[in-house]
Amino acid sequence: MRDEDVFELESKYVMPTYTRQKVVFVRGRGVVLYDSHGREYVDFVAGVAVNCLGHCHPKVVEAVCSQAKELIHTSNLYYIKPQVELAERLCEISGMEKVFFCNSGTEAVEAAMKLARKTTQRTRFVACEHSFHGRTMGALSVTHKESVRKPFEPLLDSTFVPYGDEEALKNEVGKDVAAFIVEPIQGEGGVNIPPKEYLKTARDVCDDSGAVLIFDEVQSGMGRSGRWFAKEHFGVEPDVMALGKAIGGGLPLGATLSTGISFEVGEHGSTFGGGFLPCRAGLAVIDAIEEGNLIKHCEEMGEYF
């Protein structure tokens, strides 16, 4: 099939939610992508913060291929060995207690918001200006960007405060708030780093008001900031943390981690969440980061840049 045929089929059959670059990639190795004409591209997009090990890392490829030959899907009605192994590893590296697995960042945020509502029995959310938390109705309700929200209003009851403004937070997070959700380092909003004490204040404000503190580390997690999680730069622990993007090594995987609170049987679920393939890939990602000492490398490259 020629590139022009791909473009034509896309415009005829695929809903036009993205403006795409006119290129058809067919292969990737490390940081390099190859298009259908054999041209090489150095990939600075990295699958939008997903390909933390580059393209087709041998450990991820081996994990996915060997798993695919054994068993691909059974559902969460049964035990899934790679799922429990990955849950243990994620808890070890994050210091959190429990994990709910899903398939994307927005689903991880959605689960976090449901957990906050169930725990507090409150309905209102506080989020930050320039936040991005996802496109499903709950996550969209706490996403600041007007253009992505507007066509879908009314959304959930949410208020936006300026990112990094401790006074605004103290004024807004009261006893009617289910959760304050925040990216420890904002991603889509422009790689914004909050003042050193901001997240500590957020912790205190949530403790005082009984609101749940949710960290969205979908983009800042898995080593991207030179620590496993950006929260480590601030020494603050959330009640709930949403993960996605890089944890699945390119396969669709999201995770909601919690400490002190949890869903019980029947309160939430996912047909595909925590399946064999993404969890095997997720284990390979953690192994590769540890074995390659990549978090240290990331910190050093950050300094260099």
Q: Would you please indicate which residues are annotated as catalytic (active-site) residues?
A: 132, 216, 245
The answer for residues whose C-beta is within 8 angstroms of residue 28's C-beta and 6 or more apart is: 34, 43, 51, 54, 55, 56
Minimum Å distance from CB 63 to ligand PLP?
21
Residue 3 C-beta: closest distance to ligand PLP, Å = 26
Q: Which amino acid is at 136?
A: T
Query: Could you tell me which residues come within 8 angstroms of residue 188 by beta carbon, excluding any fewer than 6 positions away?
Result: 130, 132, 145, 219
Count CB atoms within 10 A of the CB of residue 47: 15
State phi, psi for 33 to the nearest 5 degrees: -110, 150
Nearer to ligand PLP, 244 or 249 (CB): 244
Q: Judged by CB, which is closer to ligand PLP: 104, or 120?
A: 104
- Does residue 66 come out as left (phi exceeding 0), alpha (psi in the -120 to 50 range) or beta? alpha
Q: What is the Cα–Cα distance from 161 to 129, expressed in whole angstroms?
A: 6
Tell me phi and psi for residue 284, to 5 degrees: -65, -35
d(CA 32, CA 15): 28
Site residues (vs ligand PLP, CB under 6 A): 104-106, 109, 132-134, 183, 187-188, 216, 218-219, 244
Task: Specify the residue, 47 or 95, whose C-beta has the smaller distance to ligand PLP.
Answer: 47
Q: Closest CB to ligand PLP among 134 and 274?
A: 134
Distance of closest approach, residue 218 Cβ to ligand PLP, in angstroms: 3
**Separation between Cα atoms, residue 124 and residue 134, nearest integer Å:** 18
Residue type for position 261:
I
- Tell me how far apart the alpha carbons of residues 9 and 79 are, in angstroms, rounded to a whole number: 41
d(CA 268, CA 263): 7
Compute the distance between CA of residue 49 and CA of residue 55 in angstroms, rounded to an integer. 12
Tokens for 3, please give them: 């590139």
Q: Taking CB positions, which residue lies at the least distance from ligand PLP? A: 105
**CA–centroid distance for 268 within its chain:** 18
Q: How far is the CB of 12 from ligand PLP (least distance, A)?
A: 25
Tokens of residue 117, six digits? 């509502």
Whichever of 90 and 109 has its CB closer to ligand PLP, that residue is 109
Judged by CB, which is closer to ligand PLP: 127, or 218? 218
The distance of closest approach from Cβ of residue 251 to ligand PLP in the complex, given in angstroms and rounded to an integer, is 12
The CB-of-253 to ligand PLP minimum distance in angstroms stands at 9
